[in-house]
Amino acid sequence: MKIIGIDAVRGERVIIEFGSVIQGVTELIDLISGEPDYVAPGFIDLQVNGYAGVDYNSPTTPHEEIGRSLRVQFACGTTRLLPTVITGTYEGMRGSLKNLYEAKQAIPEGLAIEGFHVEGPHISAEEGPRGAHPVQCVRKPDVDEYKGWQQVTDGLVKLVTISPEWPEAPAYIEALVRDGVVVAIGHTGANREQIQAAVSAGATLSTHLGNGAHSVMSRHPNYLWEQMAEDRLAADFIVDGIHIGEAFLKVALRAKGIERSILVTDASAPAGAVPGRYKLADQEVDLTEDDRVVLAGQSRLAGSALKMHKAVENVMRMGGVSLAEAVTMATRNAARVGRISGRMRG
């Protein structure tokens, strides 16, 4: 089979030949009538807590429901992802990872699951930086706990988000990096010295920069400026028009540069579903009529309802970037920083 389109990154007209996989992409020399659609590699989402009413943070979520949620994401252009397990009890997190891994093996859509992102539980316990993560489950970094995650996923935990404010953080980060795991800074109240120590230990990413923060903080120094100024850190952003404003997004993109900027959805179960009440691990969350995902009966954000193709549109509109740059943030950059096999060059 063949399709003709305009390469969204290079701007060239191309012919894509494919069967069960893409067999070739060649530049189109001959003139054709009409204007083809844009084509791009499938989007990569490094942070998805759930989708289409399906919660990835439950050890009992049916595998067929996980498959259905993946098909809904395919319709939004996402073809590779890291299902994300947030802060919970040791048994709950390990059980959720085990269930996701077993689903990956059991369902045809499981090929889209590149691995898993563990966001917590080694984050800040403070109000604000902790976000919607349950405070009673926050705990210090523990390499043995990490090894338990890898045991039930056959080593497929690919990304871990941690706050560097824990004294144990540098040694923990070094241990994970030795295993080839990407370590991100997030949900943190860390100071400059702690952030620098984490980066020196091997942290390479800031998780949803601009979120998981105090509502009031020092003008400077603070952990947002420190992460934006650190050139060794890439950053991912939730560009839904809710989590971060236009001014912050523009400044952060200028600080990181397109080459170190990534789009994520941070989607939770209500994404791709109708307004109502859903589950996120042991907590209830609401999808409001204006597309906010909040802890039930509260205003605190608990993930997003963002679709990746809308993130691409939003970053062009809010951040003033080109289509090629937006697609790069949702594909090549995510693949490179997230170490997505077979996709790190495009």
Positions marked active-site: 266
255: how many CB neighbours lie within 10 A of its CB?
A: 18
| Listed residue (172, 237, 173, 233) closest to 211, CA to CA | 237
- Reduced to 3 states (helix: H, G, I; strand: E, B; else coil), residue 120 is coil
Residue indicated by tokens 């952003």: 237
Quote the Cα angle for 212-306-340, to 5°: 80
Q: Using CA atoms, how far apart are residues 247 and 105, in angstroms rounded to an integer?
A: 43
Helix (H) or strand (E) holding 169: helix 169-178
24: which strand partners?
17
Amino acid at 39: V
Q: Quick check: 17 and 28 in contact, CB under 8 A?
A: no
User: Would you state the structure tokens that stand for residue 99, as one six-digit string?
Assistant: 């269930």
